[in-house]
Amino acid sequence: MSEIRVNTIVAAEGTSAPNLPYGVSVPTGMGITGAGGINVSGAATVAAGTFSGAVNIDDTTDSTSSTSGALIVDGGLGVAKNVYIGAGLSI
């Protein structure tokens, strides 16, 4: 397998992030660091992840069922701290 070692990768014009049309694989045990963010468009799948800071979901889609809204969780949910709900709660 070939290996490329560089300090910086930018798009051709030199002022933005490069387009990675085939995605990026990060090996187990490695991570992505830095002040920038990770932008995901389209239908993306993340197998697992750990976040050390606040996760902010900016989508404002209202929820009317267990399959709608800005955040849909298909599995169970465990919460280690207090929960604040700023609007109605339906169970």
Cα separation, 91 vs 82, whole angstroms: 18
Residue 66 has pLDDT above 80, yes or no: yes
pLDDT one-digit tens code per residue, 8-45: 889 999 888 888 888 888 788 887 777 666 666 666 66
Q: Is the pLDDT of residue 91 over 90?
A: no
Cα(82)–Cα(17) distance, integer angstroms: 38
Please state the pTM of the whole predicted model.
0.51
CA distance 82 to 61: 23
The reported pLDDT for the residue numbered 78 is: 92
